[in-house]
Amino acid sequence: MTHSALASALRLYLVTDQVSLLGHTLTDVMMAAVQGGVTCVQLREKQLTTRDFVAQAMALSALLRPLHIPLVINDRIDVALACNAQGVHLGQSDMPVELARSLLPPEVFIGWSVETMDDVTRSASLPVDYLGVSPVFATPTKTDTHTPWGLDGLRRVRAITALPLVAIGGIHSGNALDVLRAGADGLAMVSAICSAPDPRLAAQTLRTLCDGI
């Protein structure tokens, strides 16, 4: 995929979180979000057994594949291979990027979370396809993260890399346009969609914002 094709695919990027589902099933929330206009889904599971993680990934993959919406697996190369995911997202405590690249088919894209400018600089020599700018704003979903980048930080990242940028952390309809204007190609969200009273409507509102810029 070219940078610009990937950047479009990542435009409105749902990151799943079982904890935030407010009693709905993951599948229901994801499908509502997809109907609302989500363009990419990342499955992130830290508690499930491998068997359950694979089963969940396969179920989502079966729903997303006919819609041509990429499924991205967080951290686990084994699960990504098992469900033929289109992408993998790696953080700083996941498998090193070069190693992951060597284990994945060439068409599977790799996203990588950057937490410092050093990470961004390093990314130039790594086989990564997009960067996750994490966190842009403070967020209750992830508590183990660095100081938020803020809009200024995002602009500084934008200035030194041509890779597609997905911003994550504390994004909602009130600040989404600012984040896009600061240079993000995509907006990633957990609770703004998963925990919305109406995930479809929440996604639709955000998608309209994304399309209007």
Give catalytic status of residue 142 as yes or no.
yes
Dihedral (CA of 113, 116, 119, 121) sign: positive
Q: Pick from 145, 81, 160: which is nearest to 113 by CA? A: 145
Say how many residues make up the chain. Answer: 213
92, two tokens: 């700083």
| Catalytic-residue membership of 195 | no
Among 59, 81, 126, 201, binds its own copies (CB under 8 A): 81
Per the annotation, the verdict on 125 as an active-site residue is no
92 binds its own copies, rule: CB under 8 A: yes
Of the candidates 142, 195, 200, 207, the residue annotated as catalytic is: 142
Would residue 102 be called left, alpha or beta, if left means φ above 0 and alpha means ψ between -120 and 50 degrees?
alpha
Task: Output the six-digit token pair for 73.
Answer: 């697996």
Interacting residues of 161 by C-beta distance below 8 A, sequence separation 6+: 120, 123, 124, 131
From the list 15-23, 27-35, 69-77, 178-186, the region that binds its own copies by CB under 8 A is: 69-77
211 makes contact with its own copies (CB under 8 A): no
What span, in angstroms and rounded, lies between the C-alpha atoms of 76 and 74? 6
CB of 104 to its own copies, least distance (A): 10
Binding residues: 42-46, 74-75, 94, 113, 139-142, 170, 190-191
The residue within the footprint of its own copies, chosen from 77, 184, 187, 193 (CB under 8 A), is 77
Min dist CB 122 to its own copies, Å, is 15
Is residue 201 within the footprint of its own copies (CB under 8 A)? Answer: no
| 137-176 positions binding its own copies, by CB under 8 A | none
Give yes or no for residue 76 binding its own copies (CB under 8 A).
yes
Identify which of residues 96 and 208 has a Cβ nearer to its own copies in the complex. 96
Residue 95 lies near its own copies (rule: CB under 8 A): yes
Residue 66 beta carbon to its own copies: minimum distance, rounded to whole angstroms: 22
- Show binding-site residues for Mg(2+): 75, 94
d(CA 88, CA 110): 5
The residues, ordered by sequence, that sit 6+ positions from 146 with a Cβ below 8 Å of its Cβ are 115, 116, 135
N-terminal to C-terminal alpha carbon distance within the chain: 23
Interacting residue ranges for its own copies, rule: CB under 8 A? 49-52, 54, 75-78, 81-82, 92-96, 99, 103
